[in-house]
């Protein structure tokens, strides 16, 4: 973990000015966060402490790896720009050489055949003496550009290796989180799930909407519970996962189907966390939505998250803000990461998973974009 923190910092320092800026700042911040999370993990004495430290570490990994991808993409763009400039200079220098050849004085017997006589020859020599330093200057600039291209190539190769190391490290952190979540027993229970009634409800619900609306009818008991005070947080709640808004509420998909929620495109294995303290009303599979987590931060308000690959926790638990709810799905190992392309689109694993997010208040769908902060994907 500390190793990747150092790699992130080294990448930020190594990136040229064109690639530093935002990517460098994110990489630096991620490096600091990763180091702090590593310290907390070393000092963790309970499963709860380990869960918190690992959650922070995985999020720092995700931010740092995203910064590395951005930096690599910008480096690749810069390399293409330099190569284009070099090609343009090659043509320019070739033209200049052709001009110089026409101005070069001929053998002594023909010197005096210059149309302007000896004076013309002198002027041609003076022009040649002026152009030669300019040509040398252009040649030096060309050599510097060639060196820059070679440096960028080396940087890309080194950063790609660092990226692969980071992917391995974050996988290990996710595995550790799986163990820590399984060992965690400190979360209070608001109610005990009745598995039979839940199974009947799932079997009788043909839509996620119907299932969510009926959840309040299956709790068998309710201990003392203090709902979250989220009124002041509406519009500023963190997104449950890092990603890009793929489809807004009510926006039709390719088949013309509309849904009362948003679709968030995420990377494989992205960590999904609770945006606020809440009761877990349901966690598990549902129809073709994959694994689903439904949270109740306060009475008559539900956050529906569907499409997870791995889920944590139990129905009825009261969880604090930032608690891991699960991980998005994974691609086969050979497809997990490809080199970023200069078009700005990244191949392979780039946002190949989708998390469906729905907010319901008194069984009426609300626009999630009015509730969650939509930071730019990193």
For residue 293, the Cα-to-chain-centroid distance in whole angstroms is 23
Query: Does 130 lie in the same domain as 90?
Result: yes
- Whether 378 is in a domain gets the answer no
Identify the pLDDT of residue 365.
92
Q: Which of 92-96, 102-106, 348-352 has the lowest mean pLDDT?
A: 102-106
Best-predicted range by mean pLDDT among 23-32, 156-165, 273-282? 273-282
Query: Does 150 lie in the same domain as 38?
Result: yes
Q: Which of 1-10, 35-44, 250-259, 367-376 has the lowest mean pLDDT?
A: 1-10
Phi, psi of 364 (to 5 degrees): -110, 125
Query: Does 113 lie in the same domain as 235?
Result: no
Q: Which residue has the tokens 């190569």?
A: 83
CATH of the domain at 270: 2.70.70.10
CA distances in angstroms from 338 to 88, 137, 163, 330, 349, listed in the order given: 30, 39, 10, 14, 7
Select from 162, 183, 204 the last residue of a domain: 183
Query: Does 338 lie in the same domain as 220?
Result: yes
Which of 5, 72, 13, 89 lies closest to 41 in space, CA to CA? Answer: 5
- Whether 189 is in a domain gets the answer no
* pLDDT level of residue 288 (50, 70, 90 thresholds): confident
DSSP state of 299: T
For residue range 156-192, list pLDDT tens digits in order. 666 666 667 767 777 888 888 888 888 888 888 888 8
* pLDDT level of residue 92 (50, 70, 90 thresholds): low
**pLDDT at residue 221 is higher than 80:** no
**pLDDT at residue 23 is higher than 80:** no
**pLDDT at residue 270 is higher than 70:** yes
Structure tokens at 291: 């694994």
Identify the pLDDT of residue 368.
95
* pLDDT level of residue 343 (50, 70, 90 thresholds): very low
- The DSSP-derived string for 137-165 is HHHHHHHHHHHHHHHHHHHHHHHHHHHHH
Phi, psi of 97 (to 5 degrees): -65, -40
- Whether 206 is in a domain gets the answer yes
**pLDDT at residue 39 is higher than 80:** no
Q: Which of 52-56, 157-161, 296-300 has the lowest mean pLDDT?
A: 157-161
pLDDT above 70: percentage of residues in the chain: 62
CATH of the domain at 145: 1.10.287
- Structurally, the chain folds into a number of domains equal to 2
Query: Does 170 lie in the same domain as 205?
Result: no
- Whether 35 is in a domain gets the answer yes
- The verdict on pTM exceeding 0.95 is no
Query: Does 143 lie in the same domain as 217?
Result: no
Query: Does 234 lie in the same domain as 213?
Result: yes
The answer to whether residues 329 and 285 touch, using CB atoms and an 8 Å cutoff, is no
- The DSSP-derived string for 237-292 is EEPSSS-EEEE-TT---TTS---SSEEEEE-TT-EEE-SS-EEEEEEEE-TTS-EE
**pLDDT at residue 52 is higher than 70:** yes
The whole-angstrom separation of Cα 84 and Cα 191 is 65
Select from 163, 183, 203 the last residue of a domain: 183
Select from 133, 153, 183 the last residue of a domain: 183
**pLDDT at residue 280 is higher than 90:** yes
Domain carrying residue 253: 195-373
Query: Does 107 lie in the same domain as 205?
Result: no
The whole-angstrom separation of Cα 283 and Cα 274 is 12
* pLDDT level of residue 348 (50, 70, 90 thresholds): very low
Q: What is the mean pLDDT of residues 128-138?
A: 62
Higher pLDDT, 220 or 306: 306
Query: Does 270 lie in the same domain as 130?
Result: no
In the chain, count H helices and then E strands.
7, 13
Query: Does 206 lie in the same domain as 309?
Result: yes
Query: Does 256 lie in the same domain as 171?
Result: no
CB atoms within 10 A of CB 355: 24
- Whether 117 is in a domain gets the answer yes
Query: Does 291 lie in the same domain as 354?
Result: yes
């Amino acid at each position: 973990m500390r190793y990747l923190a150092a790699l992130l910092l080294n990448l930020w320092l190594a990136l040229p000015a064109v690639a530093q800026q935002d990517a460098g700042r994110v990489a630096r911040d991620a490096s600091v966060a990763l180091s702090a999370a590593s310290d907390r993990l070393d000092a963790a004495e309970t499963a709860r402490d380990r869960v918190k430290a690992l959650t922070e570490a995985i999020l720092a990994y995700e931010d740092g790896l995203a910064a590395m991808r951005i930096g690599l993409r910008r480096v690749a763009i810069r390399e293409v720009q330099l190569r284009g400039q070099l090609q343009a200079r090659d043509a320019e220098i070739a033209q200049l050489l052709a001009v110089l050849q026409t101005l070069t004085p001929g053998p002594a017997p023909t010197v005096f055949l210059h149309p302007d006589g000896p004076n013309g020859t002198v002027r041609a020599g003076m022009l040649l003496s002026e152009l030669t330093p300019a040509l040398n200057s252009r040649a030096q600039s060309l050599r510097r550009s060639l060196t820059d291209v070679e440096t960028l190539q080396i940087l890309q190769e080194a950063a790609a290796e660092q990226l692969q190391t980071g992917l391995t490290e974050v996988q290990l952190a996710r595995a550790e989180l799986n163990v820590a979540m399984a060992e965690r027993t400190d979360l209070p229970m608001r109610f005990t799930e009745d598995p039979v009634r839940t199974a009947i409800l799932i079997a009788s619900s043909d839509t996620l909407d119907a299932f969510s609306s009926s959840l309040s009818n299956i709790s068998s008991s309710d201990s003392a519970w203090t709902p979250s005070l989220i009124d002041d947080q509406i519009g500023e709640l963190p997104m449950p996962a890092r990603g890009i808004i793929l489809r807004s509420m009510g926006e039709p998909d390719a088949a013309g189907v509309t849904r009362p929620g948003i679709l968030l495109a995420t990377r494989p294995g992205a960590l999904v966390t609770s945006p606020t303290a809440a009761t877990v009303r349901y966690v598990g599979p549902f129809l073709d939505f994959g694994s689903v987590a439904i949270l109740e931060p306060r009475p008559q308000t539900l956050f529906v998250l569907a499409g997870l690959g791995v889920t944590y926790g139990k129905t009825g638990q009261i969880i604090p803000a930032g608690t891991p709810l699960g991980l998005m799905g994974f691609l086969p190992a050979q497809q997990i990461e490809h080199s970023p392309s200069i078009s700005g689109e990244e191949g392979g694993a780039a946002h190949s998973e989708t998390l469906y997010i729905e907010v319901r208040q008194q069984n009426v769908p609300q626009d999630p974009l009015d509730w969650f902060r939509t930071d730019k994907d990193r």
